[in-house]
Amino acid sequence: MRRVLAALALAALALPAAAQEPVGITRDVMSVTVETASGPREIARIQDNANIIEDEWGQTSRPCPAFCIQPMIPAPGVTPVGELELLEFLQDPEVTVVDSRTPNWFEAGTIPGAVNMPYTEMVDRLGELGCEIDFDGWDCTAAVPVALFCNGPWCGQSPTAIRRMIEAGYPAERIHYYRPGMQGWRMLGLTVAGG
């Protein structure tokens, strides 16, 4: 048995290494460059064809509650988006991409160009998104388009932030939701900023 295993190991070493195929974002786009607080940042996919998700991002079965599967549309009027739309938003200075996770998650790794506005602080920070405080709460007639994300389809931080924003007066039609979150972003091997 040992001789057979040794022969198989030697045969595997003699085979040529598998060629790495380029990993694009789309057929015609290998990367995009976005502005971040620390300057331009290129977003691309990991080029290792054998790359896999590890650690907490590979975990598929978190207990519900609290980690229940979130709806595609967390509130009426909100538009769900995918990675390509999110990449367009990251390149559009008129749109704010919001990482609504708590700071410890943000610091451990986020989407380049996203700003951290934790779901626990979202309503208090609507002024950063074009709303103005008034006697009745917030006047959000000049609110900017936003796209929110959190950890993934099982994470309730963005849906909670979105519902609180709408209750405070933010127009639902200016809110986009990237439900795949960091788990989906990492699954596709896209660039992560920070840890």
Whether residue 169 contacts residue 139, with contact meaning beta carbons closer than 8 Å, is answered with: yes
Query: For residue 190, what are its two tokens?
Result: 């896209």
pLDDT at 12: 47
Whether the full predicted model's pTM is greater than 0.85, yes or no, is: yes
State pLDDT tens for residues 106-119. Answer: 999 999 999 999 99
Per-residue model confidence (pLDDT) at position 1: 54
Q: Which of 15-19, 24-28, 188-192 has the lowest mean pLDDT?
A: 15-19
What pLDDT does residue 55 have?
84
- Return the amino acid letter for 137: G
pLDDT single digits (tens) 126-183: 999 999 998 888 999 999 999 999 999 999 999 999 999 999 999 999 999 999 999 9
- Token output for 173: 């039609």
Q: Which residues pair with 39 in a beta bridge?
A: 36
Known active-site residue 150 = yes
Catalytic-labelled residue, pool 64, 68, 140, 150: 150
Pairing assessment for the beta strands 115-116 and 96-99 based on DSSP bridges:
parallel
Give 27-84 as a 3 state SS string: CCCCEEEEEECCEEEEEEECCCCCCCCCHHHHCCCCCCCCCCCCCCCCCCCCEECCHH
Confidence of residue 19 (pLDDT cuts 50, 70, 90): confident
Residue recorded with tokens 């439900």: 179
Mean pLDDT of the chain: 91
- Pairing of β 146-149 and β 96-99: parallel
Burial 173-184 (b: 16+ CB within 10 A, else e): ebbbbbbbbbbb
Alpha carbons 49 and 45: distance in angstroms, whole number: 10
> Structure tokens of 23?
């990993």
Interacting residues of 82 by C-beta distance below 8 A, sequence separation 6+: 178, 180
For residue 7, pLDDT beyond 90: no
Peptide bond into 172 cis (omega under 30): no
**Domains recognised in the chain with CATH numbers:** 22-187 (3.40.250.10)
Q: Between residues 153 and 17, which one has the greater pLDDT?
A: 153
Token look-up 């790794």 returns 109
